[in-house]
Amino acid sequence: MANQDKINELIEKRAKAKLGGGEKRIDSQHSKGKLTARERIDILLDEDSFEEFDMFVTHRTKSFGLDKQVYLSDGVITGHGTIDGRIVYVFSQDFTVFGGSLSETYALKICKIMDMAMKIGVPVIGLNDSGGARIQEGVRSLAGYAEIFQRNIMASGVIPQISSILGPCAGGAVYSPALTDFTIMTDQTSYMFVTGPKVVKSVTGEVVTTEELGGAQIHSTKSGVSHFLAENDEENLLLVRKLMSYLPSNNLEDPPSIKCSDPIDRLDDILNDIIPENPNQPYDIVDVISVITDNGEFTEVHRNYARNITVGFARFNGHPVGIVANQPKYFAGVLDCEASRKAARFVRFCDAFNIPIVTLVDVPGFLPGTGQEYAGIILHGAKLLFAYGEATVPKVTITLRKSYGGAHDVMSCKQLRGDLNYAWPTAEIAVMGAKGAVEVLEGSNIRKIEDANEKQEYIEKKEDEYNTKFANPYVAAKYGFIDDVIEPRNTRFRIVRALELLSNKKEVNPPKKHSNIPL
């Protein structure tokens, strides 16, 4: 019987640990429209795959009366399980225990699974719902955060790291998600900021609500901190699962492929007419993407941020790719500071994890003006330039319409080691558009013409001459900067063939400690 008593004690302790902060606090969590830490793990992972570590860990603090408040697991659930049969490590912060606040032992639990994930070479997924540092533990709590940050940094580019924000994430806590690859926030129930509304008011006098300062909408549209916006906890967690389907387990693996039922050689006649005759008329680049990818699927990243460029994951013949595409529907697809930074980060992620990059180009140039220059468009544009030039994964570029000036170079041109560069017959590749070019080239002649009608006729004639010469892909093709001019309806087939050709590509950068990307 003695053995059975010990087994019963184990069963009781497990049951107690699974209650977290107790039924009352679990009900409070549910009343806010939020799931508990364990319910979230159940949705995220394959059924019955979760194996928990450190369930019996407790904090070690005796001051401030904490010795009388001891909870098994200490506010974070850690362990491993599978997503679609693939191993992942996960930590899930439990808001029902001390508001999910981080203690020294709590941090050590997270560090343990991060260390294990690095040894094994599998992703780490963090489910964040925490009030921040546990004030009663003082500097030990801050040290715990720094231990986590250091592991985030060492794991960067080695294993995928995904942060799901399902409640508060404030102060020092925000920097772990910021160091990871993707952050997913939940509308109305999650928020992130370095300093809260009360501190903001006391320091600057600015009155702002929690939602206005660091809500999911703000970080998905204005700051770019959040890559995805979910409506509720369940959608947030299902987005993590979907994202994982495109990613390898580590930087030494290829991304997971699936069987493709979508014919690789289907002809998409709609593409032959998708570019408007008027070069200033917009169209939606997502319409192009959804036609050429497997089954029209496209998982867009940063959908609501810097919308003049579109990035995300898709598949061609069952193989994951990253897509970067100018979006003519917003600001004519012009490159600005935010779009450049958004695309550069995505390109670097894809390169780190062996995901080929398909670039669709329709860019009139960089956004002019003092606002952009003062904000550092030179540095931000250089980020994208650097990212493409540094990337060694297969790179396929299709120029659909405009590709002007420095923006042409930045968008994965041949000289930035673009592997295969194609163009549609509608492509316009030149230093600048006809209007600006004629003003530069013919300015002195135009000024000599006094009659307004004659002047206008002369300008139009010269613009037509310029368009005839440069508003086509054949000049670039003549020099080999474009490998082929393709019929738009064949785009899917040509991309699939290009990626197959490049599947064993080997390209190595010079030995170095690390590059000095213009940050």
Q: What are the angstrom distances between the C-alpha of 267 and each of 14, 272, 290, 293?
A: 58, 10, 14, 12
- For tokens 């063939």, name the residue: 497
| Residue 32 DSSP SS3 | coil
Q: At what angle do helices 139-155 and 104-120 cross, to 10 degrees?
A: 10
List the structure tokens of 169: 């994430």
- What single-letter DSSP state applies at residue 219? I
pLDDT of residue 112: 97
Q: What is the pTM of this model?
A: 0.94
pLDDT digits (tens, 9 = 90+) for 92-121: 999 999 888 899 999 999 999 999 999 999
DSSP-derived pairing of the beta strands 309-316 and 299-301: antiparallel
d(CA 389, CA 381): 12
pLDDT of residue 374: 97
| Residue 375 DSSP SS3 | coil
Q: What are the angstrom distances between the C-alpha of 514 and each of 15, 390, 510, 517?
A: 49, 11, 10, 9
CB-based contact 238:232 (threshold 8 Å):
no
- Catalytic site residues? 171-172, 406-407
Show the 3-state SS of 220-267: HHHHCCCCEEECCHHHHHHHHHHHHCCCCCCCCCCCCCCCCCCCCCCC
Taking Cα atoms as reference points, which of 334, 336, 423, 420 lies closest to residue 378?
A: 336
d(CA 76, CA 114): 14
d(CA 364, CA 284): 15
Taking Cα atoms as reference points, which of 96, 50, 44, 61 lies closest to residue 75?
A: 96
Q: How many CB atoms lie within 10 A of CB 242?
A: 14
- What single-letter DSSP state applies at residue 74? T
Beta bridge partner(s), residue 193: 170
- For tokens 């009781």, name the residue: 12
Q: Is 2 exposed, middle or buried (0-12, 13-18, 19+ CB in 10 A)?
A: exposed
Q: What is the DSSP string of 129-188?
A: ----B-GGGTHHHHHHHHHHHHHHHHHTTTS-EEEEE-SEEEGGGGHHHHHSSEEEEETT
Taking Cα atoms as reference points, which of 85, 123, 106, 86 lies closest to residue 37?
A: 106
Q: Radius of gyration over alpha carbons of the chain, in Å?
A: 27
pLDDT of residue 441: 87
pLDDT of residue 425: 96
| Residue 191 DSSP SS3 | strand
Question: What is the amino acid identity at position 342?
Answer: K
pLDDT of residue 1: 55
Angle (nearest 5°) at CA 247 between 243 and 249: 125
Beta bridge partner(s), residue 88: 81
With residues binned 3-state (H G I as helix, E B as strand, rest as coil), the percentages for the chain, rounded to 5, are 45, 20, 35
CB-based contact 104:140 (threshold 8 Å):
yes
Q: At what angle do helices 37-44 and 233-244 cross, to 10 degrees?
A: 40
Torsion sign over Cα 343, 347, 349, 350: positive
Tens-binned pLDDT, residue by residue, of the chain (519 aa): 578 889 998 998 898 888 888 888 899 999 999 999 999 999 999 999 999 999 888 877 777 767 777 788 889 999 999 999 999 999 999 999 988 889 999 999 999 999 999 999 999 999 999 988 888 888 999 999 999 999 999 999 999 999 999 999 998 899 999 999 999 999 999 999 999 999 999 999 999 999 999 999 999 999 999 999 999 999 999 999 999 999 999 999 999 999 999 999 999 999 999 999 988 899 999 999 999 999 999 999 999 999 999 999 999 999 999 999 999 999 999 999 999 999 999 999 999 999 999 999 999 999 999 999 999 999 999 999 999 999 999 999 999 999 999 999 999 999 999 999 999 999 999 988 888 888 888 888 888 888 888 888 888 888 888 888 888 899 999 999 999 999 999 999 999 999 999 999 999 999 999 999 999
